[in-house]
Amino acid sequence: MQLRDGKDARREPTAWRKGLARWLRSVMAVGLMAAGIVSAAAAANGSAAANGSAAANGSAAANAADAAGKGAPNPAGSGSVYVIPVKQTVESGLASFLNRALTEAEEAEASLAVLAINTPGGELKSAEAIGDRIRASKVPTLAFVEGDAASAGAYIALNAGKIVMAPGSAIGAAMVVDASGQAVESPKVVSFWSSKMKAAAEMNGRNGDIAVGMVNPDLTVEMKEIGRTKAKGEILSLSAEEALKVGYADALAGSVDEAVAWYGLKDWTTVKVEPTVAERVASWLTGVTTLLLILGIAGIVIELFVPGFGVPGIVGIAAFALYFFGQYVAGFAGMESVVLFILGVVLLVLEMFVPSFGILGLLGAAGVIAGIVIAAYDTGDALKSLGIASLAALVVIAIVVYIFRKRGIWNRFILRESLTAEQGFIPNEDRRIWVGKEGVTLTPLRPAGVAEVEGQRIDVVSLGEFIDAGRKVRVVTADGTRVVVKEADKE
């Protein structure tokens, strides 16, 4: 190494060194580029291998799902699973409860909502409302039929995204019946409900004719999968195994956990939703609305017409309070219905004491009816229940009023007391004893006046002529309180 002018010789490279440096930088750049290409290729190969492995695992999972049931979703996820019981008669209270439960599941962003079904059925309108709510759910739904999904229960199950049935369970028998259990033969009703069942089934790719066969006994349905034909006059019902073969069940499972596992969730958290005490009470109360209306109407009217007991009034008020409480908790009644009802009752009471030519009574009756109807789930059913309750209450009122007729409010407007000798009251003596006797007028008779007969002053009346005072008269007749006299000198 040589020093030149006191400087390091390396600070001034020669031309060949500069060329060598440029060549080395080029080689390094090429090497880095090649390394990048190799790394990218390796990454691509790794990704392809991973995808191939995942595809193989997915295929295996799908095969396992097919072995357990049909069309398992296999989301391979986790999260919360809301289990909602449907184990009572389908009515408006159940519809309100299911709406609350599904809303909670949606707010919690649950991965799945399981409807644990074991119901004999119930009201078609309530079932229709429940079906609408299930279809509108933002959370995937799965119907797990634990026992029976009969009638309206079958419709609820068909509206869920998936159906899993427990061994020994059944689905179907959805014929429309009335309150007494007799089949409804109205073609309009049967056709409507058949279309609802068919639409719910076909929504998830199921055979719609089977659903119609559960409703309409006049339809013949052939099910080749199970070698069975529903004959005319029969109502179709499927066991769990039959439902699986004909596509009305996606899988069989012994419990809710097995159904959720079949669905494909892993490490989920189960949230069991149960009706509150208020919802249980409301569910029962909405089923006895007619009875509550009978007690309410009869109790209030009896208290008004036969006051003094207090018990009928208390029973009537309690019955109406329970009616509105049940409807309010079920989500059907608002404060406006209660206000209308109370205002109507006040106007009816005022009608009994304030003359209004019936205006207050009409307004009061309208307020009471409007309050009861607005608070109900269905206007038509409310009017029907109110009509039945009014007739029944009228019979009860008539019986009670007849039994306690001596204590009725009408006694306030009728004078029923009599003045008797036993009570110390002396009635007027018989004036016929004066007939034929003579006396003297004490005052002029024009034609009435006063005369003295046998020493007693009595009120008398002439036959029409005027008689001066001090004249002699004779009693000719006596009628009630009237004593008729005639001047004795003119006879």
What mean pLDDT do residues 267-290 have? 86
Per-residue model confidence (pLDDT) at position 89: 87
Top-confidence range, 209-213, 321-325, 424-428: 209-213
H or E element in which residue 194 lies: helix 187-203
Q: How far apart are CA 160 and CA 147, in angstroms?
A: 17
Phi/psi for 388 (5° steps) reads -60, -45
pLDDT, position 203: 95
CATH for 79-275 is 3.90.226.10
**Residue 342 corresponds to which tokens in the numbers above?**
């109370």
426-490 architecture in CATH? Beta Barrel (2.40)
Q: Looking at residues 17-27, what average pLDDT do you find?
A: 41
d(CA 315, CA 327): 18
SS3 348: helix
Tokens of 274: 């149960």
Q: Copy the structure tokens of residue 27.
A: 């080689």
Quickly tell me which residue has 């930088």 as its tokens. 25
Higher pLDDT, 323 or 405: 323
* CA pair distance 16, 12, nearest whole angstrom: 12
Q: Would you say residue 91 has pLDDT above 90?
A: no
User: Among residues 315, 337, 314, which one has the least CA distance to residue 325?
Assistant: 337
Cβ(155)–Cβ(206) under 8 Å? no
In the block, tokens 């390796």 appear at 42
485, containing H or E segment: strand 482-487
Handedness of CA 43, 45, 49, 52 (dihedral sign): positive
Q: What are phi and psi of 116, to 5 degrees?
A: -85, 105
CA-nearest of 244, 46, 227 to 164 is 244
The answer to whether 441 and 473 are in contact (CB under 8 A) is yes
Q: How far apart are CA 218 and CA 183, in angstroms?
A: 13
According to the per-residue pLDDT averaged within each range, which of 24-38, 40-54, 211-225, 339-353 is highest?
A: 211-225
Whether the pTM exceeds 0.75: the reply is no
Question: For 248-271, what is the mean pLDDT?
Answer: 94
Report the greatest alpha carbon distance in the chain.
195
CA distance 137 to 110: 11
pLDDT at position 193 is 93
The predicted model gives 33-39 an average pLDDT of 42
Choose the weakest-confidence range: 18-32, 267-281, 383-397. 18-32
Predicted local confidence at residue 329, as pLDDT:
77
Say what the pLDDT of residue 307 is.
Answer: 64
pLDDT mean over 278-285: 80
What's the confidence (pLDDT) of residue 76?
47
Q: Which one has a higher pLDDT value, 356 or 147?
A: 147
Cβ(238)–Cβ(221) under 8 Å?
no
Given pLDDT bands bounded at 50, 70 and 90, which one contains residue 424?
low
**Residue 21 pLDDT grade (very low, low, confident, very high; cuts 50, 70, 90):** very low
pLDDT of residue 157: 96
**Per-residue pLDDT tens over the stretch 203-223:** 999 999 999 999 999 999 999
Contact 175, 217 (CB under 8 A): yes
Q: Look at residue 244 in the predicted model and tell me its pLDDT.
A: 96
Altogether, the residues listed in the chain come to a count of 491
393: pLDDT strictly greater than 70:
yes
Phi, psi of 477 (to 5 degrees): -160, 160
Where does residue 376 rank: exposed (0-12), middle (13-18), buried (19+ CB within 10 A)?
Answer: buried
How much of the chain exceeds pLDDT 70, in percent? Answer: 77
pLDDT band at 408 (very low <50, low <70, confident <90, very high): low
Average pLDDT of every residue of the chain: 79
pLDDT tens digit sequence for 150-175 = 999 999 999 999 999 999 999 999 88
Amino acid at 436: G
Residue 417's pLDDT is: 62
